[in-house]
């Protein structure tokens, strides 16, 4: 299992291994365990490119894993890579854990002209954990408190949370009530699609989404069965879904955070295949603020609900390639959010985080 985080995160000092390691939970959205993390270097040197995390493979699979990860770094404009291994126990007089896998990665990346600038190891991202270098025996030390890094402070200011594990992050997408999903699936099966007259279909669908979004902003809780069925029907209309993309920009604003909270709520409240629509919108919104881990999970959720979902397939492909979020801003800029969610603006609490 791999996680890709696109370029666009705040600057990270690649010259300070301890700070870089401590910042990993805020770079990928959760505290990595038993992981390999590859951090691409951009030509400017002060910003990371693609950050790619994968599970540590079994010995017999490590060469294949290296050969699968290297091309994904090569697809971006990188001039080098920092390689991190998280996991394993260091034994006196023995090489660092997973040294063979590190060699496979160095070789695979070298085939694409990507030098490994630094190869680091730590057993875990916790305060005081040891860290060391695979090449320089004199290089090493103890990790600072991950919550005290510059990146942690920046993430907190933006309302971003680093979860303790990938499973904890993925748990945000779990259905609130399987029984409610079953009722709503039955309701959708009985309802004509779309359930509004042709002459007012788009206007009625937009009104349903606008009113539900306003209720979410006011903290009124999950939708009723009737509201959920109408929302699912509205989001299936391509015109409505495309306009909803505009709610993701500008990213890292109160409005975009409210939109992300809205899509997350609907992912938990709608049955498949209709769940794919808010899951794709959630993936796009998370992607635009640079959270590749959560974006990838949302897009996987969308494709699990509807394997042929076009938008989710497209977004998953560009995420896996490490495309910077700004490249996709045109998808949102092409739509006018006020045409669907105005003219009266929704008031946002600027201090409220997702």
Q: Is residue 299 located within the same domain as residue 239? A: yes
Whether 76 shows a pLDDT value over 90: the answer reads no
Question: Which of 85-89, 163-167, 189-193, 246-250 is predicted least confidently?
Answer: 163-167
Residue 207 lies in a domain: yes
Q: Which of 256, 238, 235 is nearest to 247 (CA)?
A: 256
Higher pLDDT, 300 or 159: 300
42 part of a folded domain: yes
CA nearest neighbour of 283 among 307, 263, 269 = 263
Q: Are residues 49 and 181 in the same domain?
A: no
193 shares its domain with 307: yes
Nearest-angstrom CA–CA distance, 267 and 271: 8
Asked which of 123, 145, 162 is the last residue of a domain, the reply is 162
Query: Each residue of 1-26: pLDDT tens digit?
Result: 555 555 445 555 667 899 899 989 88
């009530």: which residue's tokens?
177
Considering the domain boundaries, does residue 350 fall inside one? Answer: no
Residues 187 and 323 in one domain: yes
DSSP 3-state assignment of 190? helix
Q: What phi-psi label fits residue 77: left (phi over 0), alpha (psi between -120 and 50 degrees) or beta?
A: beta
Examine the domain organization and report whether 250 and 148 are in the same domain.
no
> 59 in a domain, yes or no?
yes
Domain boundary among 95, 127, 162: 162
In a domain, 351, yes or no: no
Same domain, 147 and 288: no
In terms of domains, do 228 and 294 share one?
yes
Q: Is the full-model pTM beyond 0.85?
A: no
Q: Are strands 116-122 and 80-86 parallel, antiparallel or unpaired?
A: parallel
Q: What is the mean pLDDT of residues 15-39?
A: 88
**175 and 212 housed in the same domain:** yes
The C-alpha atoms of residue 291 and residue 164 are separated, in whole angstroms, by 15
When divided into structural domains, the chain yields a total of 2
> Per-residue confidence at 274, pLDDT binned at 50, 70, 90?
very high
Question: Is residue 348 included in any domain, yes or no?
Answer: no
Say if residue 351's pLDDT is above 60.
Answer: no
pLDDT of residue 180: 96
Residue 35 lies in a domain: yes
Average pLDDT, the chain: 84
d(CA 291, CA 311): 18
Whole-number pLDDT of residue 5: 59
29 and 174 assigned to the same domain: no
Q: How many residues comprise the chain?
A: 354
Task: Specify the residue for token string 């509807």.
Answer: 306
Give yes or no: residues 158 and 191 share one domain. Answer: no
Positive/negative CA dihedral, 306, 258, 256, 147:
negative
**Token digits of residue 60:** 């017999």
Q: Which domain holds residue 267?
A: 169-341
Asked whether residue 143 falls in the same domain as residue 221, the answer is no
CA angle 52, 48, 100 (to 5 degrees): 45
* 86 DSSP β-pair partners: 35, 122
From 162, 186, 216, the end of a domain falls on 162
Residue 354 lies in a domain: no
Residues facing residue 218 across a β-bridge: none
Q: Same domain for 178 and 266?
A: yes
Q: How far apart are CA 26 and CA 9, in angstroms?
A: 9
For 104-116, what is each residue's pLDDT tens digit?
Answer: 999 999 999 999 9
Q: Given a cut of 60, is residue 245 above it in pLDDT?
A: yes
Can you read off the two tokens belonging to residue 163?
A: 């979860």
> In Å, what is the CA distance from 112 to each residue of 38, 43, 51, 143, 330?
14, 16, 17, 32, 30
Least confident of 20-24, 70-74, 208-212, 270-274: 70-74
pLDDT at 98 over 90: yes
Q: Are 286 and 260 in contact (CB under 8 A)?
A: yes
């Amino acid at each position: 299992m791999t996680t890709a985080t696109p370029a666009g995160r705040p600057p990270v000092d690649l010259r300070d291994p301890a700070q870089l390691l401590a910042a990993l939970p805020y770079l990928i959205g959760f505290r990595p365990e038993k992981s390999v993390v590859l951090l691409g270097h951009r030509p400017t040197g002060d910003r990371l490119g693609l950050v790619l995390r994968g599970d540590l493979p079994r010995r017999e699979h490590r060469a294949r894993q290296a050969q699968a990860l290297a091309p994904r770094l090569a697809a971006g404009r990188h001039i080098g890579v920092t390689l991190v291994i998280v996991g394993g126990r260091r034994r006196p007089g023995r090489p660092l854990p997973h040294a063979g896998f590190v060699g496979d990665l160095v070789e695979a990346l070298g085939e694409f002209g990507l030098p490994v600038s630094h190869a680091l190891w730590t057993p875990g991202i916790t305060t005081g954990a040891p860290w060391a270098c695979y090449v320089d025996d004199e290089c090493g030390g103890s990790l600072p408190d991950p919550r005290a890094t510059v990146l942690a402070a920046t993430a907190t200011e933006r309302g971003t949370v680093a979860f303790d594990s990938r499973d904890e992050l993925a748990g945000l997408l779990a259905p609130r009530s399987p029984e409610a999903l079953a009722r709503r699936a039955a309701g959708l099966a009985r309802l004509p699609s779309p359930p509004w007259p042709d002459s007012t279909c788009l206007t009625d669908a937009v009104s349903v989404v606008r009113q539900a979004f306003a209720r979410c902003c006011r903290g009124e809780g999950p939708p009723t069965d009737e509201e959920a069925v109408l929302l699912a029907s509205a989001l299936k209309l391509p015109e409505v879904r495309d306009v909803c993309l505009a709610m993701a920009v500008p990213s890292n604003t109160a409005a975009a955070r409210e939109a992300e909270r809205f899509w997350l709520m609907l992912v938990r409240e709608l049955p498949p295949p209709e769940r794919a629509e808010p899951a794709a919108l959630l993936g796009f919104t998370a992607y635009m603020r640079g959270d590749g881990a959560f974006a990838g999970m949302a897009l996987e959720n969308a494709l699990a609900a509807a394997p042929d979902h076009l938008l989710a397939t497209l977004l998953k492909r560009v995420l896996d390639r490490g495309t910077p979020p700004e490249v996709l801003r045109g998808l949102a800029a092409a739509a006018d959010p006020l045409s669907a969610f105005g003219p009266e603006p929704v008031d946002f609490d600027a201090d409220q985080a997702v």
